[in-house]
């Protein structure tokens, strides 16, 4: 499973309530006419910004999502949201362990410590990723900004300081 995550914020002067309404409309229309490989999508408010999470079956679904986002009934809300947004940046993640959880209010972004093998990192995080509702997401092919990992969880998870964790609260809109 993959997640295309698009982070953005409303441009200066755009009312958050209107911005969120347009985002909800876009995601609703995407769900009503889902492209091939599309699983689900949702926007989260994180601080003063937003992150759209698009869950996809595989990388081939990216082409279908890209085409669907700007066509059919989605054209108008997509274009309106795009005109209202700034500072947009996307990244592609894959589910490395655990399970996706749209309701997870905690997002911990972190980096693998230099010199640590991925197998050791996954083994060390296994107690957390074995918990229901926790998902460990890893950035693919350096597609997008750091950090490399994102842990979504129903409750805060303490990570070692060497991982430089940034714990965020995400609120579904």
Expressed as residue numbers, the domain containing 7 is 2-93
Mean pLDDT within 55-78: 96
144 has a pLDDT exceeding 90: no
End position of a domain, from candidates 68, 93, 118: 93
Last residue of a domain, one of 64, 93, 122: 93
Residue-wise pLDDT for 104-138, tens only, equals: 999 999 999 999 999 999 999 999 999 999 999 99
- What pLDDT score does 108 carry? 98
Q: What is the CATH number of the domain that holds 29?
A: 3.30.70.100
> What pLDDT shows up at residue 143?
87
Q: Are residues 50 and 21 in contact, defined by beta-carbon separation less than 8 angstroms?
A: no
Q: Which of 31, 63, 93 is the last residue of a domain?
A: 93
Q: Of 76, 20, 11, which Cα lies nearest the Cα of 43?
A: 20
Q: Do 72 and 17 share a domain, yes or no? A: yes
Sign of the CA dihedral with 137 first, then 143, 144, and 146 last? positive
User: Would you state the pLDDT for residue 26?
Assistant: 97
Q: What is the per-residue pLDDT across 15-43, written as a single tens digit (0 to 9) for each? A: 999 999 999 999 999 999 999 999 999 99
In angstroms, the CA 92 to CA 21 distance is 25
Global pTM reads 0.94
The pLDDT of residue 169 is 97
The number of distinct structural domains making up the chain is: 2
- Mark whether 85 and 131 lie in a shared domain: no
Do 109 and 51 lie in one domain? The reply is no
Overall average pLDDT of the 146-172 stretch: 96
């Amino acid at each position: 499973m993959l997640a295309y995550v698009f982070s953005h914020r409303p441009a200066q002067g755009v009312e958050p309530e209107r911005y969120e309404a347009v985002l909800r409309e876009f995601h609703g229309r995407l769900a009503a006419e889902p492209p091939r490989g599309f699983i689900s999508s949702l926007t989260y408010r994180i601080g003063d910004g937003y992150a759209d999470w698009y869950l996809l079956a595989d990388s081939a679904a990216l082409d279908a999502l890209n085409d669907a986002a700007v066509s059919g009934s989605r054209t108008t809300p997509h274009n309106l949201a795009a005109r209202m947004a700034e500072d947009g940046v996307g990244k592609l993640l894959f589910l490395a362990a655990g399970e996706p959880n749209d309701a997870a209010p905690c997002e911990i972004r972190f980096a693998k410590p230099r010199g640590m093998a991925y197998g050791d990192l996954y083994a060390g995080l296994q107690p957390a990723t074995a918990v229901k509702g926790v998902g460990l997401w890893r950035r693919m092919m350096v597609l997008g900004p750091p950090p490399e990992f994102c842990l979504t969880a129903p409750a805060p998870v303490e990570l070692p300081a060497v991982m430089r964790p940034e714990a965020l609260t995400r609120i579904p809109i």
